[in-house]
Each structure stands twice: as C-alpha cells, then as structure tokens.
A and B are shown apart, each in its own frame.
Chain A
Amino acid sequence: MGKSTVFNALTGMHQHTGNWSGKTVSNAVGTFSRGQKTYTITDIPGTYSLSSLSAEEEVARDFICFGNADVTIVVCDAGCLERNMNLALQILEITPKVVLCINLIDEAEKKGIFVDTQALSKNLGVPVIKSSARYKKGLNELIDQIDTASKNLNAYTVRYSQEIENAVNMLEMPVGNALDGKINERFVSLKLLCQDESFLASMKTYLGVDMLQYDAVKDAYNQAQKYLLEAGYTKELISDHITSKIYKDAEKICGGAMTNRKNYTERQLKTDILLTRRLTGIPVMLLLLCAVFYITISGANVISDYLSGIFDILELRLSSLLLGLGAPAAVHDAIVYGIYRVLSWVVSVMLPPMAIFFPMFTLLEDLGYLPRVAFNLDNAFYKCRSCGKQALTMAMGFGCNAVGVTGCRIIDSPRERLIAIITNVFVPCNGRFPMLITIITMFFTAASPFSGLVSAVILTAFIVFGICATFLVSFILSKTVLKGVPSSLVLELPPFRKPQVGKVIVRSVFDRTLFVLGRAVAVAAPTGLVLWLLANISISDVSILDHITGFLDPVGRVLGLDGIILTAFILGLPANEIVLPIIIMAYTSSSVLTGYDTLSSLHTLLVENGWTILTALNVMVFTLFHWPCSTTIITIKKETASVKWALISVLVPALCGILICLLNNFIFTFIL
C-alpha cells in the first residue's frame, strides 16, 4: 500500500520499500518538521486487520493500540479500497484521530478508479486525502490534515447485530472502569467477546492490565458470553459476524464514494499467466536469475579492473608516504600488506558485484515479481512440508541473510518459520556470491570466449543446487526435529508496478556501497592486521598462523580443502566478504608478495598452493554451506529467542557442507 513510501516521502528517510505485503517487518521511526512543529512518525508493518495475526502484524497492532500515537495515518491502496477500508474501520474502533490516506491514486485513476474523498470523509467522520507518495503528491495536504485529525473526537462506528451490541453494552461499563481511559472500552469489549488471546496478552504487556482479573469485568464477561450463547452465538460466530459486518459497512462506504472499475487488468492477467504457467513459469524464473547474474558478472569485471588499478597506484603512494615518515619496516608492512591490501581487495573484488546485483534485484522486487516466484514454488515447499512464502525470505537472503531471517516473520506457522530461518543461509548473500563468482571465473570459465555468460550459467546452476538443498533440508527437518504437517498459504499477488529505476539504482548503490565500505573498514581492516601479525609473529620459529593452519590442515584435507581455507572460513565469521582475502593473505604471507590484482595471477597463486578443480569446487560448496556469519547468528537467536535454534542453524549448514565436500572427494578419488 506504500506506507513506507509515504513515510520516506515525509521524513526524507530511506526505509526499504518493496512491492509485496510483508516487506516491512518492524517499526521504523523518523521525524519531519513543518513551520514550528516537529512531527515524529513511526512506520509500522502492514496488516490486513487487527485480529488475525502473524508476528509482524502483531508489531503493527500493538503499536496502533498501545503506541499512544497522537494521530494514526491509515494508508490505503486506492486500487483495493474496500479491503483496506476493513482495516480503517477497525482502527476507527480504537481511535477517531485518524487520517485516511488513499495512496497510489495515480495508478488507480489510470485504471478508471476514481475516489470521492469528500464523500468518504463525510461518511467516516475523519479527514481523507488522496496521495501518490512516489511522486510526492498529496503530502502537504496530508500534513495539514494531521493537525485536524488530532482534534477529532467522533468517527464512524460499525454497529453490529442487536445481540452483540447488547453484549458490548453489558461489558462496556466495567471494562471502562478497569481501563481508566487508557484505551477505547468498546474496542476492548469486542476483543473480549471474540476471546482474542493475543490482544489480551498484549494488554498485559503494554498496559499491565489483565482484564479478567477484575471481578466486575469477569462477571460481566461471563454474563455476556452466556447471553450470546443463548442467542446462538458461538465464539466463532461472534468473530465471523464482526468481520462480515465490517466488510458490509466497508462495501457500503466505498460503493458510494468510488467508481467501481477493475483494478486487475487483462494485461496483468496475461503477464501473470506467462509467469506462472507450466511451460513458462520456472524457465522465466531461471532466465531472469541468469540474466541478472550475467549483467552482474560482466559489469563487475569492468569496475573491478578499474578499481584495482586505482588501488595499485594508491598503494605505492601510501607506501612511500609511510617510508617518508620514517615508519619502521614492520609498521609499514603491517599497514600496507596487512590492512590496506585486504581492504582494497574487499572493495575492488567484492564491492562491484554487490553494487550491481543489489539494485537489479530491487528492481525485480519493486516490479512485484517475487510473490510470483513464491506462487510457482509453493507446491514444492508444500511437498517439503513448509511454506511457499519461504521463497520470499530466500530472495531477501540474497541481499543479506540476517535480513532474510528477520523477514521470516511473514510466515505464520512457527514451525515453518523455523525451517525458513535455519535454511536461509543456503542462499548466498551479497557477501558470499562475489567469492563464488571469482572462483567460478578463475577455475571454470577463464578460458572460454563467453566467460561471462558461462559463469552466469554455472552460478545459476549452483544457486539452483542451493535451492534443492533448501527443499531437501526443509523436508528432513519436517520429518525430524520440526515434525509437522504443512499449514496453509495465503499469499497476496500485488499488481505489477513500474519500478522507479533511477531511484532504485541511486539508493541501493549508495546505501549498499556505504554499508559494505563501512563493514569492510570495521571488519576487514582489523582482520587484515590480526592476520598479518599472526603470520609474522613466530613461536619456536614457526609463525602463529602456520601453527593454526597446520593444526587445522588434516581436517581441511579430509574435506578436500586445506588448513588455510578452513582458518579463513573461521576467521571470516564476522563477515563472509573477507574469507577470500584471508586465504590470499595467508598464501602470500610466507612467500614474496606479487601483484594479485588480476584474476589470472590470483589463479596462479592458488594453483601454486595446491588448488585443483576439486579444491575450487569444495571451496564453493563450503562458501554456500558453512555457518552463518555472526550477524546472522545473533539475528537468529533474537528471532527465535532460543540459543538452541541458533546452534542448530549453525550446525545444519556446517554438516551439509562437510557431507557434500566428503562426497565430492569420494567421487573425485574413486569414480572419476
């Protein structure tokens, strides 16, 4: 509906927006000023209603009910006003201080849907404005109406059947006494009648009020329930009636205030059929993925070459500067060969693919393509006893696994959510796939005249392999530690929307670039230094690094890797971007440093250190399947509120990696 877009337009912030429900899973706070006044505004996750809830919708409901906001802005999609009116009417049950913001109005008017805001406003008793937040239209009016709404005392109230109204009357008085004006008593009474456990639990958390502890409330509650039961209202029927009645009112209110034209056009339908049909659905998906990789790889090559050229020159400058300052050789070497080299490596090799991949992926997301992928893959997930929305969280994992893990809040069933969390690392994040690209290019495609294309195909195949592993592991988990049957899928397929190409590119390059640079400095630089120290401080004539890698070497060999690679993966725990630089640093630390700015000299270095095709393959496997980075592990612990699941999330991919590497070794040794 574009809440985050409205939020960004008002505050000038850059909350990520996407064209699918569930993009925003937690609150974000921003401010904006107008004249003398400063407004604080909170962007909350989208929700269909205040009563049927997944984890991220609970965040939204709790803020609406207990956040003590002065004004609530309800952002609706003009294209499906009726359904959004359902939510708006529920919010009006809590507070009349509401502005109804009918967003995406441009898009709707193009389809022939016109909304009469005056009629709506008159019916609802709250200010109603039209906006098109993407194009910054209607925002001034929105701000004007915020002040009006903050003084609003009365709004439209949905009236239910006589029986339910009678029951509400019985409850309202004692409930009101118990609440002391903290929250609307009619709303709480209705929630009591529906026996909304989750809401009552939140009341305890936020208001410290346990409604049924009050004798007067309890008596009235029992009396009201008894009355309703005698009138034929079971628990289910009460909430059914309430939902249906709200919708009936929504229909009436919207019907009188808008021209009812089709929101879903023939063209949309044709596209959807193309994207989901048997013969075209999956191939289109793979082609898109492959195309995105191809553009990423070819584009990144150009930028990488350019950047490493610059870094070479800068290295000479830095070196002569340090020597000129009279720095001792050890300090000079530690800074130049330790910190600087790792840093420039991360930036010149890792950054370009990220900077290209991320905006392209964001474009697909903006377009509304991702839910179609979830639609296509749902039956496979169903067979693995998990949820099709897992495809959405996997897609987010391409950007960052920690984000993917948080995104798993959109999955309703706790069991399926855990499966999605544990398997999220099977999608290579932005920090890992540049490493995959580098290895693929060096060992598998460098000789080919169509190197970029072949690399893209191999990478796609590898990603598909990761997806297959996701299915398999999801299935195994469902049969073992997370036993259960698949629940349901309720997936909204949003209308396709023209992405804001320029904005997406600028924003994601800018945000990503800064983010990755920051992380590189924060993690890669000190790691580079530590590594240099490890390699240059000796205990009984052997460097500490050699001690460590020597110790891990037998384990590494069994896996078809070596001690240094394994050490690199362990040291790379804080950020996967630095695994490959660490490997290179370790290999070069003992020998004379040669230029390794180009891939072919890097290839030579690796081969000199014993890399074969098998090593390359196993490193790729281990890149995809090892342990999540520390940020992701911390996120998993937070999201699952359990050390156990965080531990399992570390063990499962590690175990997969070890098994696949062993299998590779076996195949290469005994079969090939």
Chain B
Amino acid sequence: MQQKSLLSLDIGKTYILSHVDLQGALRHRILDLGFTEGAEIKCLFKAQSGSPLAFLIRGSVIALRKADAEKIFVL
C-alpha cells in the first residue's frame, strides 16, 4: 500500500499516525511532541507557500516545514 505522508492529508480530516521517518535530534523532538504510532492527527492549515504546515496533535497545534512533514506517515 502506498504510504501517505503528512503532506498529502486532506485539510480538516483526522488521520491516525503510523510512523516517523526522520533521524536524530529532530526525530526525537517530533516523537516527544506526541507524533507516536496511533496518535490522531489533523492538518489544519498551510502557510501561503505551502510551508510550514500546521497540525493538530494531542490537543496542541504544531507547525512543521514541508521537508519534515513529508517524512511523517499516517495509516
């Protein structure tokens, strides 16, 4: 099955997070913010240029750049 990254989420729809394909400190930080398997996630809005993007996860809004969001996947 084709993996769906955070870049291609429909805005306003809730998804279930599958895995994070980032490395090092950033991976750690992202996981610590609750981007762990099974978490509900929703893309809220994007900046004018398409980056960064704002996500609702575990009750808080987190903005990520396109390049990083591309490496986080949902089910």
B59 partner residues in chain A, CB cutoff 8 A: 79-83, 263-264
Q: Are B49 and A379 in contact (CB under 8 A)?
A: yes
A269 partner residues in chain B, CB cutoff 8 A: 44-45
By DSSP majority rule, is chain B's interface helix, strand, loop, or mixed? mixed
A507 to chain B, nearest CB (A): 27
Chain B, range 25-69, C-beta contacts under 8 Å to A = 25-34, 36-39, 44-45, 47-49, 51-52, 54, 56, 58-65, 67-68
Q: Please give the residue numbers on chain A whose beta carbons come within 8 Å of chain B beta carbons, in ascending order.
A: 48-49, 51-52, 79-83, 86, 236, 239-240, 243-244, 247-248, 263-264, 269, 272-273, 276-278, 281, 371, 375-376, 378-379, 382, 388, 412, 487-495
With A48-B29, A273-B45, A488-B65 as known contacts, state yes or no: A83 contacts B52, CB within 8 Å: no
In whole angstroms, what is the CA distance A490 to B69 when docked? 10
Chain B, range 2-21, C-beta contacts under 8 Å to A = none
Q: Are A379 and B45 in contact (CB under 8 A)?
A: no
| Partner pick for A48 among B27, B32, B67, CB 8 A cutoff | B32
In whole angstroms, what is the CA distance A81 to B58 when docked? 8
Q: Please give the residue numbers on chain B whose beta carbons come within 8 Å of chain A beta carbons, in ascending order.
A: 23, 25-34, 36-39, 44-45, 47-49, 51-52, 54, 56, 58-65, 67-68
Q: Are A264 and B34 in contact (CB under 8 A)?
A: no
The total number of A-B Cβ pairs within 8 Å is 123
Q: Are A378 and B34 in contact (CB under 8 A)?
A: no
B25 partner residues in chain A, CB cutoff 8 A: 52, 412
In whole angstroms, what is the CA distance A247 to B31 when docked? 9
By DSSP majority rule, is chain A's interface helix, strand, loop, or mixed? helix
A276 to chain B, nearest CB (A): 6
Q: Are A490 and B51 in contact (CB under 8 A)?
A: no
Q: Are B68 and A272 in contact (CB under 8 A)?
A: no
Q: Are A388 and B32 in contact (CB under 8 A)?
A: no
Q: Are A378 and B36 in contact (CB under 8 A)?
A: no
In whole angstroms, what is the CA distance A248 to B38 when docked? 9
B27 to chain A, nearest CB (A): 8
9 cross-chain pairs, A with B, having the tightest CB-CB distances, nearest first: A80-B59, A278-B48, A52-B28, A49-B32, A493-B61, A263-B59, A491-B63, A52-B29, A379-B49
B27 partner residues in chain A, CB cutoff 8 A: 236
> Which partner residue on chain A sits nearest B51 by CB separation?
A379
In whole angstroms, what is the CA distance A239 to B60 when docked? 23
User: Which residue, A243, A269, A412, has most C-beta atoms of chain B within 10 A?
Assistant: A243
In whole angstroms, what is the CA distance A412 to B29 when docked? 11
B75 to chain A, nearest CB (A): 15
User: Which residue, A248, A273, A276, has most C-beta atoms of chain B within 10 A?
Assistant: A276
Q: Are A239 and B28 in contact (CB under 8 A)?
A: yes
| Partner pick for A489 among B33, B39, B60, B65, CB 8 A cutoff | B65
In whole angstroms, what is the CA distance A487 to B30 when docked? 14
| Partner pick for A52 among B32, B37, B44, CB 8 A cutoff | B32
Q: Are B58 and A80 in contact (CB under 8 A)?
A: yes
With A273-B45, A490-B30, A491-B62 as known contacts, state yes or no: A243 contacts B52, CB within 8 Å: no
| Partner pick for B54 among A79, A272, A379, A388, CB 8 A cutoff | A272
A486 to chain B, nearest CB (A): 8
With A276-B47, A378-B51, A488-B68 as known contacts, state yes or no: A86 contacts B60, CB within 8 Å: no
Q: Are A51 and B32 in contact (CB under 8 A)?
A: yes
A273 partner residues in chain B, CB cutoff 8 A: 45
Q: Are B58 and A490 in contact (CB under 8 A)?
A: no
B62 partner residues in chain A, CB cutoff 8 A: 490-493
Q: Are B31 and A244 in contact (CB under 8 A)?
A: yes
| Partner pick for B26 among A243, A388, A488, CB 8 A cutoff | A488
In whole angstroms, what is the CA distance A244 to B36 when docked? 6
> Which partner residue on chain A sits nearest B57 by CB separation?
A83
